[in-house]
Amino acid sequence: MVGNLSGRPLVLGVSGSPRVSSNTHLLLERVVAGAALAGAETKVVRLRDLKYSSCRHCGGCDGTGECVVQDDMQEVYRKLREARHLVLASPIHFSAVSGEMKAMIDRAQCCWIGKYRLKQPVSQVSGERRGVFAASCGGKDTRVFEWAKHTVKAFLNSTGFRYWGEFFEANADGSPPVPEREERLTEAEELGRRLVAG
Ligand SMILES: Cc1cc2nc3c(=O)[nH]c(=O)nc-3n(C[C@H](O)[C@H](O)[C@H](O)COP(=O)(O)O)c2cc1C
Protein backbone atom coordinates (compact mmCIF):
# COMPACT_ATOMS: atom_id res chain seq x y z
CA MET A 1 0.00 0.00 0.00
CA VAL A 2 1.30 3.46 -0.80
CA GLY A 3 0.50 6.40 1.44
CA ASN A 4 -2.12 6.46 4.16
CA LEU A 5 -5.84 5.95 3.84
CA SER A 6 -6.87 9.19 5.53
CA GLY A 7 -5.28 11.36 2.83
CA ARG A 8 -3.63 13.39 5.58
CA PRO A 9 0.17 13.51 5.71
CA LEU A 10 1.59 10.81 7.96
CA VAL A 11 4.08 11.94 10.58
CA LEU A 12 6.04 8.99 11.90
CA GLY A 13 7.78 9.23 15.25
CA VAL A 14 10.52 6.76 16.15
CA SER A 15 11.43 6.69 19.81
CA GLY A 16 14.85 5.32 20.72
CA SER A 17 15.08 5.33 24.51
CA PRO A 18 15.28 2.04 26.41
CA ARG A 19 13.42 3.68 29.31
CA VAL A 20 9.68 3.67 29.93
CA SER A 21 9.70 7.09 31.63
CA SER A 22 11.84 8.62 28.96
CA ASN A 23 12.75 12.28 28.54
CA THR A 24 13.13 11.98 24.78
CA HIS A 25 9.91 10.03 24.40
CA LEU A 26 8.14 12.90 26.10
CA LEU A 27 9.73 15.39 23.69
CA LEU A 28 8.70 13.17 20.79
CA GLU A 29 5.12 12.93 22.03
CA ARG A 30 4.86 16.71 22.15
CA VAL A 31 6.35 17.21 18.66
CA VAL A 32 3.92 14.61 17.33
CA ALA A 33 1.02 16.19 19.24
CA GLY A 34 1.81 19.50 17.51
CA ALA A 35 1.83 17.75 14.14
CA ALA A 36 -1.57 16.20 14.92
CA LEU A 37 -2.98 19.60 15.85
CA ALA A 38 -1.81 20.84 12.44
CA GLY A 39 -3.81 18.08 10.74
CA ALA A 40 -1.37 15.20 10.34
CA GLU A 41 -2.08 11.56 10.90
CA THR A 42 0.50 10.35 13.39
CA LYS A 43 2.11 7.07 14.36
CA VAL A 44 4.74 6.49 17.02
CA VAL A 45 7.01 3.46 17.11
CA ARG A 46 8.91 2.71 20.31
CA LEU A 47 12.01 0.72 19.44
CA ARG A 48 12.14 -0.78 22.96
CA ASP A 49 8.92 -2.65 22.12
CA LEU A 50 10.27 -4.19 18.91
CA LYS A 51 12.32 -7.28 18.24
CA TYR A 52 14.99 -6.63 15.66
CA SER A 53 18.68 -7.11 15.14
CA SER A 54 21.30 -4.73 13.85
CA CYS A 55 22.54 -5.05 10.26
CA ARG A 56 24.37 -8.35 9.63
CA HIS A 57 26.09 -7.02 6.51
CA CYS A 58 25.00 -10.26 4.84
CA GLY A 59 24.66 -8.66 1.40
CA GLY A 60 21.10 -9.97 1.10
CA CYS A 61 19.87 -6.55 -0.01
CA ASP A 62 22.57 -6.00 -2.64
CA GLY A 63 20.47 -6.91 -5.66
CA THR A 64 17.06 -5.70 -4.48
CA GLY A 65 17.33 -2.95 -1.87
CA GLU A 66 15.15 -5.13 0.37
CA CYS A 67 16.32 -6.46 3.72
CA VAL A 68 16.09 -10.25 3.97
CA VAL A 69 15.98 -10.31 7.78
CA GLN A 70 12.39 -11.03 8.75
CA ASP A 71 11.82 -9.25 12.05
CA ASP A 72 9.95 -6.18 13.31
CA MET A 73 12.03 -3.89 11.12
CA GLN A 74 9.95 -4.98 8.13
CA GLU A 75 7.00 -2.98 9.50
CA VAL A 76 9.30 -0.04 10.23
CA TYR A 77 10.50 -0.08 6.58
CA ARG A 78 6.86 0.06 5.44
CA LYS A 79 6.10 2.99 7.73
CA LEU A 80 9.26 4.82 6.65
CA ARG A 81 8.14 4.52 3.02
CA GLU A 82 4.62 5.73 3.84
CA ALA A 83 5.65 8.68 6.03
CA ARG A 84 5.60 12.22 4.77
CA HIS A 85 7.68 13.46 7.71
CA LEU A 86 9.79 11.69 10.28
CA VAL A 87 10.69 12.55 13.87
CA LEU A 88 13.60 10.59 15.34
CA ALA A 89 14.01 10.87 19.10
CA SER A 90 16.97 9.49 20.99
CA PRO A 91 18.75 9.97 24.28
CA ILE A 92 22.46 10.66 24.01
CA HIS A 93 24.42 7.61 25.08
CA PHE A 94 28.19 8.06 25.16
CA SER A 95 28.01 11.05 22.81
CA ALA A 96 25.90 9.20 20.22
CA VAL A 97 22.34 8.01 19.65
CA SER A 98 21.18 5.08 21.79
CA GLY A 99 22.04 1.51 20.83
CA GLU A 100 18.39 0.89 19.98
CA MET A 101 18.41 3.82 17.56
CA LYS A 102 21.78 2.96 16.04
CA ALA A 103 20.71 -0.64 15.40
CA MET A 104 17.64 0.63 13.54
CA ILE A 105 19.75 3.13 11.61
CA ASP A 106 22.19 0.42 10.55
CA ARG A 107 19.27 -1.61 9.22
CA ALA A 108 18.75 1.21 6.71
CA GLN A 109 21.73 -0.14 4.79
CA CYS A 110 19.19 -1.73 2.42
CA CYS A 111 17.68 1.75 1.86
CA TRP A 112 21.15 3.10 1.10
CA ILE A 113 21.73 0.29 -1.40
CA GLY A 114 18.32 0.89 -2.98
CA LYS A 115 18.74 4.64 -3.31
CA TYR A 116 22.40 5.09 -4.17
CA ARG A 117 23.41 1.84 -5.85
CA LEU A 118 20.22 0.59 -7.47
CA LYS A 119 18.80 4.10 -8.06
CA GLN A 120 15.36 3.08 -6.81
CA PRO A 121 12.81 5.62 -5.54
CA VAL A 122 12.83 5.66 -1.72
CA SER A 123 9.11 6.34 -1.44
CA GLN A 124 6.10 7.19 -3.54
CA VAL A 125 5.03 9.97 -1.18
CA SER A 126 5.21 13.23 -3.10
CA GLY A 127 6.39 16.61 -1.84
CA GLU A 128 9.15 17.52 0.55
CA ARG A 129 9.74 14.91 3.21
CA ARG A 130 11.13 16.47 6.36
CA GLY A 131 13.13 14.94 9.15
CA VAL A 132 13.38 16.16 12.74
CA PHE A 133 15.92 15.00 15.30
CA ALA A 134 14.89 15.31 18.96
CA ALA A 135 17.41 14.39 21.63
CA SER A 136 18.19 14.84 25.28
CA CYS A 137 21.38 14.51 27.26
CA GLY A 138 22.16 14.52 30.95
CA GLY A 139 25.10 16.89 30.82
CA LYS A 140 25.50 20.51 29.77
CA ASP A 141 27.91 19.89 26.90
CA THR A 142 25.70 20.39 23.86
CA ARG A 143 28.40 19.26 21.41
CA VAL A 144 27.09 15.72 21.88
CA PHE A 145 24.03 16.67 19.80
CA GLU A 146 26.24 17.78 16.91
CA TRP A 147 28.16 14.50 17.05
CA ALA A 148 24.98 12.41 17.01
CA LYS A 149 23.56 14.56 14.22
CA HIS A 150 26.01 13.21 11.63
CA THR A 151 24.59 9.70 12.00
CA VAL A 152 21.00 10.93 11.93
CA LYS A 153 21.64 12.97 8.77
CA ALA A 154 23.16 9.96 7.00
CA PHE A 155 20.07 7.93 7.92
CA LEU A 156 17.67 10.62 6.72
CA ASN A 157 19.52 10.93 3.42
CA SER A 158 19.26 7.19 2.84
CA THR A 159 15.57 7.03 3.70
CA GLY A 160 14.61 10.09 1.66
CA PHE A 161 14.07 12.81 4.26
CA ARG A 162 15.69 16.25 4.45
CA TYR A 163 17.15 17.24 7.81
CA TRP A 164 14.68 20.01 8.54
CA GLY A 165 14.61 20.63 12.27
CA GLU A 166 15.90 19.65 15.65
CA PHE A 167 14.96 19.85 19.29
CA PHE A 168 17.71 19.36 21.84
CA GLU A 169 17.27 19.26 25.60
CA ALA A 170 20.49 19.43 27.60
CA ASN A 171 20.83 18.97 31.36
CA ALA A 172 17.84 16.64 31.18
CA ASP A 173 18.83 14.90 34.41
CA GLY A 174 18.91 18.24 36.22
CA SER A 175 16.17 20.21 37.89
CA PRO A 176 13.34 20.74 37.14
CA PRO A 177 12.78 17.32 35.54
CA VAL A 178 11.86 17.36 31.86
CA PRO A 179 8.13 16.60 32.43
CA GLU A 180 7.93 19.88 34.40
CA ARG A 181 9.60 22.03 31.71
CA GLU A 182 6.31 23.11 30.24
CA GLU A 183 7.74 26.06 28.33
CA ARG A 184 10.20 23.78 26.50
CA LEU A 185 7.54 21.14 25.89
CA THR A 186 5.31 23.79 24.36
CA GLU A 187 8.21 24.73 22.04
CA ALA A 188 8.47 21.06 21.03
CA GLU A 189 4.77 21.06 20.18
CA GLU A 190 5.19 24.23 18.16
CA LEU A 191 7.99 22.58 16.16
CA GLY A 192 5.63 19.72 15.35
CA ARG A 193 2.96 22.15 14.21
CA ARG A 194 5.42 23.96 11.91
CA LEU A 195 6.69 20.64 10.58
CA VAL A 196 3.28 20.07 9.01
CA ALA A 197 1.88 23.56 8.56
CA GLY A 198 4.68 25.47 7.00
C1 LIG B 1 24.36 4.51 28.75
C2 LIG B 1 24.17 5.99 28.95
C3 LIG B 1 25.09 6.85 28.39
C4 LIG B 1 24.90 8.23 28.53
N5 LIG B 1 25.79 9.07 27.93
C6 LIG B 1 25.63 10.40 28.04
C7 LIG B 1 26.56 11.30 27.41
O8 LIG B 1 27.49 10.90 26.73
N9 LIG B 1 26.37 12.64 27.57
C10 LIG B 1 25.34 13.14 28.32
O11 LIG B 1 25.22 14.36 28.46
N12 LIG B 1 24.43 12.31 28.90
C13 LIG B 1 24.54 10.96 28.79
N14 LIG B 1 23.62 10.12 29.37
C15 LIG B 1 22.42 10.69 30.03
C16 LIG B 1 21.20 10.65 29.10
O17 LIG B 1 21.48 11.20 27.84
C18 LIG B 1 20.02 11.43 29.71
O19 LIG B 1 19.68 10.89 30.96
C20 LIG B 1 18.83 11.43 28.78
O21 LIG B 1 17.95 12.48 29.11
C22 LIG B 1 18.08 10.11 28.84
O23 LIG B 1 16.98 10.16 27.96
P24 LIG B 1 15.77 9.14 28.05
O25 LIG B 1 15.06 9.43 29.35
O26 LIG B 1 14.95 9.47 26.87
O27 LIG B 1 16.36 7.77 28.01
C28 LIG B 1 23.80 8.74 29.27
C29 LIG B 1 22.89 7.84 29.86
C30 LIG B 1 23.09 6.48 29.71
C31 LIG B 1 22.11 5.52 30.34
Write down the pLDDT at residue 98: 98
Write down the pLDDT at residue 103: 98
Helix (H) or strand (E) holding 99: helix 99-106
* CATH architecture of the region 10-197: 3-Layer(aba) Sandwich (3.40)
Determine how β-strand 130-136 pairs with β-strand 85-91.
parallel
Return d(Cα 45, Cα 63) in angstroms, integer.
28
Write down the pLDDT at residue 1: 39
Does residue 60 line the site of ligand 1, with CB under 6 A?
Answer: no
Helix (H) or strand (E) holding 15: strand 10-15
Write down the pLDDT at residue 4: 62
- Tell which residue, 84, 186, 96, has the closest CA to residue 131: 84
Return d(Cα 116, Cα 151) in angstroms, integer.
17
Does residue 131 line the site of ligand 1, with CB under 6 A?
Answer: no
Atom number of ligand 1 nearest to Cα 95: 8
Does residue 19 line the site of ligand 1, with CB under 6 A?
Answer: yes
Write down the pLDDT at residue 6: 73
Contact 192, 28 (CB under 8 A): no
Write down the pLDDT at residue 5: 64
3 conformational bin, left if phi > 0, alpha if psi -120 to 50, beta if neither: left
Q: How far is the CA of 136 from the centre of ligand 1 (A)?
A: 7
Q: Where are the domains of the chain?
A: 10-197
Write down the pLDDT at residue 190: 98
Return d(Cα 60, Cα 52) in angstroms, integer.
16
Query: Would you write out the chain's pLDDT as a tens digit for each of its 198 residues?
Result: 344 667 899 999 999 999 999 999 999 999 999 999 999 999 999 999 999 999 999 999 999 999 999 999 999 999 999 999 999 999 999 999 999 999 999 999 999 999 999 999 999 999 999 999 999 999 999 999 999 999 999 999 999 999 999 999 999 999 999 999 999 999 999 999 999 997
Task: Tell how far CA 12 is from the center of its chain.
Answer: 7
- CA atoms 76, 80, 84, 87: torsion sign: positive
Q: How far is the CA of 176 from the centre of ligand 1 (A)?
A: 16
Write down the pLDDT at residue 198: 78
As separate numbers, helices (DSSP H) first and strands (DSSP E) second, the chain gives 6, 5
Does residue 46 line the site of ligand 1, with CB under 6 A?
Answer: no
Contact 136, 144 (CB under 8 A): no
